[in-house]
Structure 1
Amino acid sequence: MVIKQVKHWMKLRANAAAWKAITDWAEAREARFDQNEEGDGFLIDEPKNPLGHLRIEWGPSQRAYIEGQELRLRWELGVHPELQMMAIERELRDVLEKAVFEAYTDTLQTRIDTDTPEEMRWLVMFQQIENWKSKLARARFSVCSVTKEVAAAWCDDALSDALALASQDLVAQGQPFVMLTQRGNLYVRTAAAQPTLDQIKNIVSLAEVAAKGAKRVDQLLGEAATWPNTASSAWQPSTRSPEPDA
């Protein structure tokens, strides 16, 4: 028991040294940095961020489509809870879309409704846009929402350019990546075996562009005083079938 406690203490100390640059960056932003009890992850909590309370976590994956460790982010933007939009890495989109269609055709719709994450259901609930500014971003990511107009409004020049930049080094081809808005927040998930400070900073920069875009879209929809119906409990699959295997 004592040996186990010593090993755990040594692991926490080693992590503190390895993550010092990240800790210093968090403190410079008036955020709190904490390791988890197991020593296999950490939390950066930044309640004073100008756009809203920001939480950055690294630890064991909470989604089956990400193996090992994941880097995740939650930004409390205070936008309308029905503002639902998503950007997803294309190879992951194809894998999840195929899985959802196979499950649906296997007459398991009830299980899909209750157990399947939103990011999977949205692939058949929502409309995906194909004609947006950056060809590079379009080749690597798919963007969808309840209507194409909402998705296009979010994926304007700023987000399109930010996704194009992310495709260069932040999100490698085939790397699981999902960024979406729901319940008034912005969420990001991506695979990360061992995050670096640069990776965290770049994820936050990308999320900041998306967050500002979400606030802008929220304002536009608020001014229109009309919200599209996004009731996920009554979803039906779209007519678009998943692309065949290469």
Structure 2
Amino acid sequence: MTATDAKAAGRIVPDVPPRNEPAGVSALSIDGVSHSYGPRRALIDINFAVAPASFTALLGLNGAGKSTLFSLVTRLFGIQTGRISIFGHDIGQAPGEALRQLGVVFQPRTLDLDLSVTQNLLYHAALHGIARRDARLRSDEVLTRIGLADRAGSKVRDLSGGQMRRLEIARALLHRPRLLLLDEATVGLDVKARADILTHVRQLVTEQGIGVLWATHLFDEIISSDDLVVLHQGRVLAHGPVGRVVADAGAQDVNTAFMRLTGAAAVSGSATP
């Protein structure tokens, strides 16, 4: 299906700029990244990559360092040690080029509850320098795509928790990024809303070729086709396809593999001081 055919069929097709990066470049590359809050080491020599058009789960308990890592990728925090690049663009040396490729959904809600669904999207589009006419077209597209077209004029405070989260994902996609970061995106949602959000995000990978880094502490949000990064007390304990991580841990499932990996880490003294 061509881009024109896909648009005619009602799918959102990202406006992908000409690619200057070499073949095989990672959507996200984390190389030797460490970060400390004073004497406390939050991240210790983090190394992993997210491939384009793939779903990578970043699995870790609360306090593992997931949110710190997201703050570094999005430049909320400056990088103390190491390098982060997005589609080959170093976020320290070429932040504009890097961040244009990136959409983010943080764990805390950041919507304006007193604005309508569409007004929230248009405000975000303006921050990205998207012309108002184009912004309206994109807003209509993403709302249709996530099933909120009938709530376009509703105030955000009148939406359910799941609808709010879907709106945040739609907002993150307005500028048509090629990499999407989601930090504990299903926290506080019921089982059905969680499943709906996950289904939608996985469709972004398969239908639009977006690379996804999905941070979670919930084992049941991870499936066998995912890539998996196990983050524990600031260290990456395992990284690779789910099946390989599970097999290397001598386990039968992700839950058991995680328990064995994190238990071994504690015994070997790799806990963050």
TM-score normalised to structure 2 length? 0.24
Bigger relative contact order, structure 1 or 2 (CA pairs below 8 A, ≥6 apart): 2
Between Structure 1 and Structure 2, the one with more helix by share is: 1
TM-score (norm 1): 0.26
